A and B are shown apart, each in its own frame.
Chain A
Amino acid sequence: MRISQGQLWLNFPMVNAVRARSGFLLRLAESLTITGAALLASVMVFSIFVAIMKVNPLQALYAMYLGAFGTSFSWQVTLVKASPLLLTGLCTALPMRTGLIVIGGEGAFVLGGLFAAEAAHFVPGAPTIIVWLVMAAAGCLVGGIWIMIPAALRVYRGVNETISTLLMNYIAIAIFNQLVEGLFHDPNSLNNPSTYSIGDNNMIGDIGNSQVHWGLIVGMGVCVLAWILVHHTTLGFSADLAGGNPKAARLSGIRINRVILWFAFLGGACAGLAGMIQVAAVQERANDGLNVGYGYAGILVAFMARQDPLAIIPVAVLLGGVHAGKILLATQLGLPNSAALVFQGLLFLFILGAETLYGRFSIFQPQVRT
C-alpha cells in the first residue's frame, strides 16, 4: 500500500512546498481521498448486488442520483431528509471528541420529539416563538439527559457506553410507545396512535417558496456553533485532550469527567432538538413516524465526517440524498426501501474499514524540515 518516496512526480518542488507548509490541507486531502475511495467501493459493491438482483446498476445509480440531486424537487426532499441528520450526527460526533462512542441518537431523538410535542401544551395560547422555545428546551433537556446517563455510567462505573446506549435505544422506544399509547395519547388518533397535535399555528414554516423547512438552517447553524465550540474554545480543547489521552488530560489538571458529561449532554441535546424540529416542522405530533432510523443514520454521518461538526453538513446532505434517492429507486425500478439500507450498511462498513488507510500514503505526510 505504501507509495514510494522515490516516485518522480512526488519530487516536484511545488508539491514539496505544499507538503512542508500545510499540514491542514494535507489532512483534508487525505480525508477526502480516503472517504471518496470508500464511497466508490460501496457504490461498486452495491452495483454488483443490484446486478445480481437483475436490475441494471447504472440505471439504479442514475435513479438514485435523480431522486437525490437531479431536480430542484429532489434537492428539496434531500435537504428535508438531511435536516435531522445534521443534529443526530452531532449526537455521536460531539461525545466522540471526548473518546466516547455514543450510538444512542435514536433514543434521544424519539424521546426529545415526544417530550417537545408534550411540552407545547404547557404553554397553551402563548406566542409561537415561546412555544418553540419551550419545545426546544424540553427536547434538548430530555435528549441531553438521556445521553448523559450512559456517559455518567461510563465515567463513574466503567460501563461501556456503546453497548449501554444501544440498549437504551430500545428502552427509549419502549417508553415512547408506552407514553404515546398511554399517558400522552390523543384518543382521536385511532389507527396511528399519536400525541395531541401541537397546533397548526405552531408549525415551523418553509424557507421561501420551497418545501424545505427552517429546521435545516437551524441544524446548519448548530453545526457551525459546534465547530466553534470544538476548535475555538477552552472547553473544546479540554475535550480533545480528554478524548485523545485521558492520562495527559488528568496530568494537566483537566476535570475530564466534567468535560465528558458536558459533551454527552450537548450531543444528546442536539438529537433531542432534532426530534423537536421533526415534530414541529414535519410531523405536527409525536408518533411512530419519528422512529424511522434518523438516529442510527446520524452515527454514520458522524463517522464519515470524522467527528468534525463542519464536515457533518456536506455528509448529512449526501446521506439525505441516499434516503431521498430510494424513493425513485422504488417507484422506477421496484427496488424496496431496504435497498437503501443495504447501501447505507455497505457505506458504513467501507468508511470504517477505510480508517486503516490513514497515514499509509506518504504523499499525504508532511516532510521533516531539515
Chain B
Amino acid sequence: MSSGRVEVTKHGAPGLEVIGMSKRFGSLKALDNVSLKVQPGTIHALLGGNGAGKSTLVKCVMGFYHADEGDIVLGPKQVTVKDPREARELGMGMVYQHFTLVQNMTVLENLVLSRGKVPGVIKWQQERQEVEHFMATTPFKLSTDAKISGLSAGEKQKLEILKQLYLNTKLLFLDEPTSSLTPGETEEVLGMLQAMVRRGELTIVLITHRFREVMRFADACTILRNGKFVGTGQVAELDQQRMSDWMIGSDQVIQTASRKETPSGSVKLELQELQAQGDSGVPALEKLTVSVHGGEIVGIAGVSGNGQKALIEVIAGQRPLTAGQILVRGQRYRGTRREIQMHRLNCLPEEPLHNTCVGHMSVTRNMAMRKFDQKPNRMFGFFLHNGRLRRHALDLIRRYNVKTPSPESPIRNLSGGNIQRAVLARELCEPSEVLITANPCYGLDFHATADIRSQIMEARNHGAAVLLISEDLDEILELADRIFVIFEGNLIYETSAAAADVSQIGQAMAGHSSAEELVHA
C-alpha cells in the first residue's frame, strides 16, 4: 500500500492509515501484517467473516489492544494510542455491537457521563439545555429524560452514535451497528450518517458482514480473511461476487446443504397459543401458534428481542409458560426427561457453552447429559456406569472429530467450534424426531457453519420436524421450507420458501401492519 499523506476534510474529519499491523493472542495470530487506508470524509467498510480480524484491527487502533507491530497515521501525523481515552482525545470513537448504555439512567445522564470530564457537582438544568441545543444540530432526536430501558433498539443505536458525536468524534468506528436493527431502522440510521459524511463532518469505518450495507452506503471497502489483508477497492468498482470470493477464499466454496424432496409428514410439533413473560415481567410471547410437520424446516425470522429468546426457552423448559401448550406428536409436552427420550426431541440453542453445557464438567459428562440415567448407563437403580459413559464419549469424539486433550478435560477448555461439535454429537448421534434450534451458527467460523447447516438439513431429510429460530435471514432463506416472521411475541407473516420475498419479510420484521393481513389471507 502506498503511504502517501492522508488529508483532513475542512470540517476536521481525518483520514486513517494503518500500516503493517500484527497482533498475536497466545498461539493465535489474530492480525498478520494488515494495512488499511481510509480517505477522509468517506464511509469505509471493513468486511470479513467471523474471526477475520476486523474487530481486532479496530480495537488495536482504538487502544483496547496493543498491536505487536504496525503504525497508525491519523490525519496528517503518525500517532500511538495507549488506551481508549487517548483515542477519544484524538477524535476517534467506537460504537460497539452490544450497547454500552446504562439501562437505569436517562439519556441525559448517559450523555453527560460519557463525556469523561464531568464537573464535580453537576448542574442538571444547565446540562439539559446544552444537550438539547447540541441535539438540534444533529439529525437525531431523542427525549433527554427518557430512561434507556424504555428505548427501542433503534433509538439506543441512535443514542450510541449521538454519544460519539457529542464527544466530538471525527473518526467513527461502527462494529456491526445494524445487527439488532430492522431494515427500516438500518436505512434511517446509516442514511443520516451518510449525509454527515457527505458534508465532510465525519469519517466512518464500518465493520460488517452484510454486502447490502456495503453496496448501499460505503464508498470503499477492505476485506480481511483469517487475520490477513486480502483486498481493497472502491465499492463502485467492485461487485458482490468479487467481494464474496475475497471473503470466503477460493478454496472454501459454500457447501449448501442438499434439500431432498420429501413428502410432507404428519404434524410432529405444535405450539398452541403460547404465552410467556419476559425477563422484566412484560409479555414476551403473545398467543404464538405454529405447527411443524415431519420432514420440513420451519424458519422463524425476526429482529432480536421480539420473543425469540422466550420461545426457545419455553420449549427447552427454561422458562415457564403462562398460557398455551406444546404438543409433540399429538401429546402434551412438559419437557421431562421421559418425554425428551420418548419423542427423541433435541435442542440446539445458540452459544452452546452457555446454554447446553456445564463448562467445568468433563467432555465425557457433557456428552452423557442426555442418556446418563438410562439403562445400561444406570445400574442397580441409581448408580452410574462411569466406564460406559467414557467409552460412549470416546466413540463420539472420534466420530465427530472433536479436538480435546482427553475425555476428562473440562469442556470450556475446548474451542468454540469443538464445543459446538461436541453438542452436535450428543444431540444428533441418534436420529431425531423433533429438532429445535436457535441461531445455531452464531459466532462460528465458516466451516463449522456449513457443517451445522448440513446436519440440520440431514435431520430434516430423515423426517425430523425442525423449528429454526434465527436472526440471520440468509440462514433462514437457505434452510427453511416455510418462513414466519416473529414480531413482539407473535408470528405476523408467513410465506413458503419458494415464494419468499426479501423486501416483504423485511417489512414484516419491522412490524409493518400491511404484512399482517398476509397471515390471515
Contact = CB atoms under 8 A, between A and B. Distances in A.
Interface of A: 20-24, 231-238, 240-241, 244-245, 247-248, 250-255, 365-369
Chain A at the B interface: SS class: helix
Given A234-B384, A241-B369, A250 B317 contact: yes
A250 B349 CA distance: 13
Interface string B264-303: 0000000000000000000000000000000000000000
Which label, helix, strand, loop or mixed, suits the secondary structure of the B interface? loop
Given A20-B405, A21-B406, A24-B408, A233 B383 contact: yes
B408 A23 contact: yes
B335 A253 contact: yes
A250 B335 contact: yes
A365 B413 contact: yes
Contact of A368 (B316, B335, B405): B405
Given A234-B373, A240-B361, A368 B408 contact: no
B406 A251 contact: no
Contacts of B349: 251
B336 interface: yes
A23 B405 CA distance: 9
Contacts of B378: 234
Given A234-B378, A241-B358, A251 B405 contact: no
A237 B405 contact: no
Given A253-B336, A365-B413, A244 B384 contact: no
B340 A237 contact: no
A251 B318 contact: yes
Nearest to B386: A232
Contacts of B403: 368-369
A65 to B, nearest CB: 35
Contact of A248 (B340, B358, B406): B358
Given A241-B361, A250-B335, A366-B405, 5 more contacts: A234-B383, A240-B361, A247-B318, A247-B356, A369-B404
Nearest to B414: A368
A366 B406 contact: yes
A252 B340 contact: yes
A358 B273 CA distance: 48
B360 interface: yes
25 contacts: A20-B405, A20-B406, A23-B410, A232-B386, A233-B382, A233-B383, A233-B384, A234-B378, A234-B383, A236-B384, A237-B368, A237-B373, A241-B358, A241-B369, A244-B361, A245-B357, A245-B358, A248-B358, A251-B318, A251-B347, A251-B349, A251-B356, A366-B405, A366-B409, A366-B413
B242 interface: no
Contacts of A368: 403-405
A369 B407 CA distance: 11
B342 to A, nearest CB: 11
Contacts of A248: 355-358, 369
Closest CB pairs A-B (n = 10): A244-B358, A23-B408, A253-B337, A366-B405, A234-B373, A251-B316, A245-B358, A250-B318, A253-B340, A250-B317
Interface residues of B, number: 39
Given A234-B373, A251-B349, A244 B406 contact: no
Contacts of A238: 373
Contact of B355 (A21, A231, A244, A247): A247
B358 A367 contact: no
A369 B358 contact: no
A233 B377 CA distance: 10
Interface in B378-413: 378, 382-384, 386, 403-406, 408-410, 413
Contacts of B404: 368-369
A285 to B, nearest CB: 39
Contacts of B337: 252-254
B340 A240 contact: no
B316 A250 contact: yes
A23 B336 CA distance: 33
Nearest to A237: B372
Interface string B230-274: 000000000000000000000000000000000000000000000
Nearest to B356: A248
A369 B398 CA distance: 13
A234 B370 CA distance: 12
B317 A237 contact: no
B347 to A, nearest CB: 6
Contacts of B347: 251
Nearest to A370: B403
Most buried by A among B336, B370, B383: B383
Nearest to A25: B408
A237 B404 CA distance: 22
A161 B317 CA distance: 24
B420 to A, nearest CB: 14
A21 B406 CA distance: 7
A236 B340 CA distance: 20
A241 B358 CA distance: 7
Contacts of A23: 362, 405-406, 408-410
